[in-house]
Amino acid sequence: MHALTIALSGIADPAIPTPTMTVNPDAVTPGFVGFVGIAVVAIAVIFLLIDMLRRIRRAGYRAEIAEELDATTQADAEARAHEQAAAAVEASETDDQDIDPASR
């Protein structure tokens, strides 16, 4: 039984190869050019984010101003409507003497 275990262990335990480095690690790294490229992209992204935030803030201010103008315009329209209604009521109010000439 012991001989069988030794024989099977030789079959089940193949030799594991150790990897060896076949390329120069300095040749496959990005180096200084890669660093500069990534730095330029990072700076561009930062400037784009700043510009985007500025535009979003500006759009918010414009929306607030538009709402205020709409509210002012609506209030002016309501005031004009009240004035017109008051003028119409005043114009439509007549004296009874104006209606019935016989009562004079």
Q: Domain for residue 95, yes or no?
A: no
Residues 6+ apart with CB under 8 A from 30: 37, 38
- Domain coverage including residue 80: 30-89
Residue with the bigger pLDDT between 41 and 20: it is: 41
Q: What is the pTM of this model?
A: 0.46
Reduced to 3 states (helix: H, G, I; strand: E, B; else coil), residue 88 is helix
Spatial separation of the C-alpha atoms in residues 102 and 74, rounded to whole Å:
47
Q: Domain for residue 82, yes or no?
A: yes
Q: Domain for residue 14, yes or no?
A: no
Domains: count for the chain:
1
SS3 of the chain: helix, strand, coil, percent, to 5: 80, 0, 20
Q: Domain for residue 80, yes or no?
A: yes
Q: Domain for residue 46, yes or no?
A: yes
Q: Domain for residue 20, yes or no?
A: no
Q: Domain for residue 16, yes or no?
A: no
Q: Domain for residue 94, yes or no?
A: no
Q: What is the pLDDT of residues 58-91, one digit of tens each?
A: 999 999 998 888 888 888 888 888 888 887 777 7
